Amino acid sequence: MNAKIFKAYDIRGIYGTDFDEQDAYAIGRATVDFLGCQRLAVGRDARISSPVLFESFTRGAMEAGAHILDLGVITTPMVYFAAGRLDIDAAVSITASHNPPEYNGMKICLRGALPVGEASGLSAIRDIAIAGKFKTPETVGSLTPEDIKPAYYGFFSSFAELKDHHFSLVIDTANAMGVLELPIYEQLSENLTLVRLYDDLSHPFSAHEANPLNTQTLDELREKVVRCQAHLGIAYDGDADRIGFVDETGLIIPMDLVTALLAKEVLKKKPGSTILYDLRSSRSVKEFIEENGGRALECRVGHAFIKKQMRETGAIFAGELSGHYYFEENSLAEAGTLPALLLLNLMVETGQPISQLVSETKRYFHSGEINSEVRDKDEILTKLRLHYADGKQHELDGLKVDYTDWWFNVRPSNTEPLLRLNLEASTPEQLAIKQAELLSLIRS
């Protein structure tokens, strides 16, 4: 077993190279030994390696004494849904998200979809699995099938408030797990015309990369939306815990601006609530949340940190620049199709196309994330602290410096020799000047 498959938030690597079924067995035993769980729900994606990994992992978990609820082939948000509603101690999704088909892995959470990351147990599970020294249980566990999908579909389709409006949607599921989110739209068939792209799970992960953060993967969706005169384009990532959108003109909607629009919708039902937004987001996101009666709080990058801060602050919703959106309705976890339904509701309520709604939130000019390979990350961060000492500095996640009419954030990668830069300015000219200035400092 390659110890590097244990990441900050999950387990992920190339099946047959980085880990195999014997390792999955050891991880199953170690998970139950460390967490002490008696009832464990396990779902899996449709990768070719998922059935054998499921069998090995659950065999290890059962031999450690756990009773397994077999959730079958499902999305990661469905696993979170199960973790929030079933009588279980923990849940596992066997998936490698948007990674290529030769990859696989696991995401582990506790009851209530509380994530198990490196700092909250994943490193201990790694050490136990590698050592191979397991506890001897009093009894061996068993396995029972549990179909959570009907309850999931019924629950989330109930959020649609489309009335007598009709929408045309283009949905790209990339032959990945987003295919299993489509029945929610089908339950709303009186209101929706669906144009599907790559919805064949019999050839899983065989289309383009299932990653809406990679703008190139959205090219076909953008073209199809314009050609079909659709109201909205929707793209899912590999395990359907991220979602991206294209407006009716074929333009990609920035994911931080989606956070702003979703915040407006959730605040209608719970005015005054706390909303978290990724610290890389446009300044307009905070402004928009506050204008719509919410309490806006900045959060660091990463789902484990965000879910923890949501619990600590009582936040009901959070949005991340990567396309993760977290809702209290799904135990403060990602909720698959719910962002799409809420955007449709907003279009119904305002009578405006999605492009018009987005334009209300687009007030500044944002660089997007720019990566730079550096030899000494700490040295560069120190240089930036000194150079921009006249700005308002924060170190919630890397270094963020605020000025009246522009800001930047530089974050070190946890796994690579990279610094990640995001900046925003009031004018495109100022953005270009500050971007060149920062990159010169970072790369020199």
The three-state (H, E, C) secondary structure of 324-376, written as one string: CEEEHHHCCEECCCHHHHHHHHHHHHHCCCHHHHHHCCCCCEECCCEEEECCC
- Rounded Cα gap, residues 283 and 153, in angstroms: 35
- Find the catalytic residue in 49, 50, 93, 97: 97
Residues in the chain: 444
- The distance from CA 403 to its chain's CA centroid, rounded to whole angstroms, is 30
- Rounded Cα gap, residues 29 and 62, in angstroms: 8
Which amino acid, one-letter code, is at 398? G
365 contacts: CB under 8 Å, gap ≥ 6: 424, 425, 426, 427, 428, 430, 431
115 close to 92: Cβ distance less than 8 angstroms: no
Backbone angles phi, psi at 50, to 5 degrees: -65, -40
- Rounded Cα gap, residues 189 and 168, in angstroms: 10
220 close to 172: Cβ distance less than 8 angstroms: yes
Tokens 């629009």 correspond to what residue?
Answer: 261
189 among known catalytic residues: no
Strand partners, 196: 171
- Rounded Cα gap, residues 120 and 134, in angstroms: 20
Query: Counting Cβ atoms within 10 Å, is residue 352 exposed (0-12), middle (13-18) or buried (19+)?
Result: middle
Three-state DSSP at 298 gives: strand
Three-state DSSP at 213 gives: coil
Active-site residue set: 97
